Structure formats: structure tokens, C-alpha cells
Structure 1
Amino acid sequence: MRLLCDEERIPQQGAMLLGTLEQAAVLCLKEEGIPDERVEISLSFVSMEEIHQLNKMYRQVDRPTDVLSFPMIEDFNEIDWEDEEEEILLGDVVICLEQAQKQAEEYGHSQMREIVYLFVHSVLHLLGYDHMEESDKVQMRQQEELIMDALDLKRSV
């Protein structure tokens, strides 16, 4: 599992955060039975203004958001998992650090926990999860909790 990230925009937790995000991605992939050795995910940390523009451009929602996901794979059945040479770009994750900090304060946990949660949420979107229907939302939330618990980043009570 490779996490492609702009080194200049990594939050202060740096290497520790990236290691936890890679571990989270591996757990998400493992839960889906996907071998992680050749998978890549692009990760960008952006400002409130940048995510607002992206949200407006790609979702036609004229306001900032916390995280955006841009999946690259439509049908996982079309992937040749046996081809050891081919790198598989799962997609792009864009996280707004300013919004993550606001939400961390609102929910009473660390910015790191919030960033990891947003990343897990986004990786699940890259894997085809959604939360438009209530049953899908329940399933996605269960997966998020499973991964966050495995990382020992449980929700504050």
C-alpha cells in the first residue's frame, strides 16, 4: 500500500500520521479481501477555500466540506489481482485540515483522530461504500467503527 502525498502540506503529526493512515488503508483493503501490496491512494491536504472550490466544481455544492473522495475504479471485478506488475490507483482523497480541526474540537477528540476518521470514511467511498440509503449508511458506519477500533482510535463518549 502506497500513500501518495504532498510532503509540504502534511500536518504537524507528519510521519506518525502518515503511518497511521497507511495502516488504516491496509485494514480497509483487508476487510474487503483486496491485496494491498500494489494499491496506491493519492492524498491531499487543502485549505477551506480549496475544498470549497472542489466541492462546488465536482459536486455542485457551494460550500466547504471536510473530505472529498474521487474513486478511480468502477468495477473491482475487472482488476487482475494476479498481475504483480500493475499498480492499482484506488483514487484520490482530499482532506480540509481547517475543517478537520473544527470538527475535532466539536466532537472532543484530537485532530489526528478526526483526520484518520475522515481518511477511513473516504477510503471506504473509494471501495464503493456509500451512505445515501439508511441501510448503506449503517453498513458504512459499521466498517468505519471496525477500522477505527482496530487502530485504537475509538470515538470519545
Structure 2
Amino acid sequence: MDLEVYDETNSVPADKLELVTNILNFAGKYIHLPENTEMSVTLMDNEHIHEINKQYRGVDKPTDVISFAIEEDNPDEVPIILPDDADFVLPKNIGDIMISMDKVKEQAAFLGHSEDRELGFLAVHGFLHLNGYDHMKAADEKVMFGLQKEILDAYGLKRE
């Protein structure tokens, strides 16, 4: 997977950036995403995620994670036409995840587990949203949260 991780805070330790990269690559393989899948993760503070949450979701408070899936089948979009003899495949960009590092710290302390576990949880949660999973209905929640737990456990970030 082509994954870009941005540290907007300029203060996230290298091991946390590596955790996000590793767990999302693991999750991509776990759900059998094509190798040419692209996505990004931006790690930010509560102030910036609050602005995004307010602007795009109409919620006037910071949140822990926001996912912006890219809709590939937009009828208003001009299609990219490749020549028949093209010897490459366009990558599939699934979207962007934003995670509040302030919320990672707050929620890890509140829930009594490590910041690594919380960061991994939020990254996988956002990743699953980008891949079409949701938790608006009880049946969907059971599927998404079950898969989320499977991925985190298999990676080694079990709930403590």
C-alpha cells in the first residue's frame, strides 16, 4: 500500500509514526487490499480536528478520528481514459484519515490502556471506514467492530 503519514504537530515520536504505518499496512493485507491502494493519515491536535469536525460534520467539538473516503464512482467526474496498450494500473486512492493526538492521550488515560493501543485502534477504525465499513446499525457495528478487534489482536495490540 502507498501510505503517507503526516505529523502536523511536529511532535509525534518516530515509533508512533511507524506504528501507524505498520498497522495500516497490516490491516490492508488482512482485508486483501490491492498493493496499489493509496491513502493518507494526518496526525493533528484537538484544535485542528475541531475545525474540521465543525466544517465537515457540523459538530462543534474535537473528535478522535475522522475519515474522508474518496468516492470513485462519481457520475459528475470526468473519467480517466487510458490507452489500450497502457502497461500500468492506476492506483486506487481510498481517502484520508485525520487523528487527534490529543484525543489519543486523553482516551488512553481514560480507558486505562497504552497510547499505542489507542492510536492503533483509531487508525484501524478510520481505515475500516475508508473501506466501506460503518457502525450506524447494530448489525453493521457488529461486523465492523468484530473485524477491528480481529485486526488489532492479530497485530498484537490487544486490549489490556
Normalized against structure 1, the TM-score is what? 0.84
Mapped partners of 2:135, 2:8: distance in 1: 32
Shift of the alpha carbon at 1:3?
Answer: 1.8
Q: What is the aligned partner in structure 2 of residue 27 from structure 1?
A: 26
Q: 1:5 to 1:60 in 2, by over 3 A?
A: same
SS at match of 2:33: coil
Over the matched positions of the two proteins, sequence identity in percent amounts to 38
Query: Which structure has more helix as a fraction of its residues?
Result: 1
RMSD of aligned alpha carbons: 1.9
Q: What is the aligned partner in structure 2 of residue 145 from structure 1?
A: 149
Mapped partners of 1:12, 1:34: distance in 2: 27
Q: What is the aligned partner in structure 2 of residue 114 from structure 1?
A: 118
What is the aligned counterpart of 1:71 among 69, 72, 87?
69
- Which structure has the larger Rg? 2
Mapping 1:3-152, distance limit 5 Å? 3-7=3-7, 9=9, 11-14=11-14, 16-35=15-34, 37-74=35-72, 84-152=88-156
On the 8 A contact 2:38/2:92 being kept in 1, the answer is yes
SS at match of 1:43: strand
On the 8 A contact 1:38/1:84 being kept in 2, the answer is no
Shift of the alpha carbon at 1:147?
Answer: 0.5
Normalized against structure 2, the TM-score is what? 0.82
Alignment gaps of 5+ in structure 2: 74-86
Deviations 1:27-48 (A, max 9, x none): 333343322x211211111111
Alignment gaps of 5+ in structure 1: 76-82
SS at match of 1:4: strand
